[in-house]
Structure 1
Amino acid sequence: MKKGIILLIFATFLWSGNYICGRFLAPALPPILLNTIRWAISTIILFCLLILNRQKLPIFKNWKEFSIQGFFGVYAFSTLNYLGLQSISASRAGMISAGIPITILLFTPLILKGKIKIKAWIGALISIVGVVVLIQGKSSNSIESSIVGDAEILLSCVAWGLYTVFGKKYGKKIDPLTMTAGAAFYGTIFSALSCIGNVHVNMIHITKSTWICIIYVSTFASVVAYFAWNTGVKIVGAGRAAPYINLLPVWTVILGVLLLQEQISIITIFGGIITILGAILASL
């Protein structure tokens, strides 16, 4: 049990690093290009893992499932995150992302036809109030850009909620590694296509530090975190694992302050705490 909990905590820590790297890479690469490079590398790694496991990837047979998962989980979620991180701090983005469990809760009855308990809806309402309070605490000099950044991170939460719920639906017939590899493949294609006409050479400023961040988000924040989380879920169970996702904003705030010297307003912290508490109540 302890091993499983450690793996869950480790996974959220690695995922929080994606927000830090996304903020650091904001001036270096356009969000769409960053996402394309990230998932192209991750796709190659996942394909190699499939080969080592002697598994085949039914790219065309399960194109519908892979394309839906690739669009929401790989293309929309990651791109919106990187877009938001161009105008708001990593700490702020991480706390807004505490609303992810709520989006999962909202889409569950619509897509999976599952029943949600009243306590979960109360938790969802509390989290929504927390997000509203959180957004009142401006962390950007430009109010307009802060609002846009907040909206982009909120939309990324919606994308991840859809990815998770559809993943539960399709996971009954496709194993996690195959699903992730297929989603990464199609998501990379969507991302690459969106680069056409939107990315120009003068927008790219790559340094050694840039490559280190790209390697991190392509390996540790993608493949390694994925395996750590899924192994932890397998050990402790999905129900007990769910609340641990709320460690993501906590790690993001800590790393944002330590590594990026970010400053957070009291209102933002207060809103983040309310959001996390509501999400925990909804997850239990």
Structure 2
Amino acid sequence: HDGARLRATLREHQVNAVMHFAAWLSVGDSVKDPAGYYRNNVFGTLSLLDAMVAEQVEHLVFSSTAAVFGNPEETPISETHSTRPINAYGETKLAVERALPHYARAYGLRSVALRYFNAAGADPDGELGEDHAPEQHLIPRAIDAALGRDTFQVFGDDYETPDGTCLRDYIHVTDLASAHLLALDALRAGAGSTQYNLGNGRPTSVRDVLEAVERVTGRRVPLTMGPRRAGDPAVLYASSARIARELGWTPRFESLDVIVETAWRWREAHPQGYGEKRTY
């Protein structure tokens, strides 16, 4: 949260817009350590916003999350749905979202908050992929299990869903990237601050994902059943009609098997992930 360093960086590189991706993002960890999540995700972002104001950087694309909605009252979820997070991660992202209109009115810092549903997949060209330490995202965990590295644990099979497991909306990272560019173009063209949901609009269960991994890899995914994880909503899937209507965005990678296939190809080519190159 080094405001002076942030200002110096913005000034040195003559930055005129910021895409802010950095955050802690584990739902489970946020329940265990809410204070840490508020310090990092909220205070850290406010430090960035203050540096942007000081250096007259007026455009921000902010990585938000479907976790701002909590347990939805209706699906698919539109941008006008009530926001009631059930975990500290969602609360921290919503806190920033609520600050952004005030920064726009007071300082002229306009922003687009992009509410990711479940980002997944890898660069189709094979250059970039997903590699966390420890890995907590469903698709790479399932692929690792298929490779014999671990047993996949399902967090709860007693939800009120067709197969008892959580329903999520998986969106390919390349489609997320294109939405960021469209959002930045809109801000530069004079658009006001707003929020957009980003998803495929298709509810997909944990079991659906495991079956897709088995189809794509030709391997069995060994699994165990565990209890529900604190802070996990039963169902989250998006309506992305607003960004389609206003910015012309539509996802190119709609097939779950294609999303899994890109992740699998990257993992095959990079069995140790980024290895020593990993910086987080």
Return the structure number with greater strand share: 2
> Relative contact order: is structure 1 or structure 2 higher (C-alpha 8 Å, sep ≥ 6)?
1
**TM-score under structure 1 length normalisation:** 0.30
**TM-score under structure 2 length normalisation:** 0.30
Return the structure number with greater helix share: 1
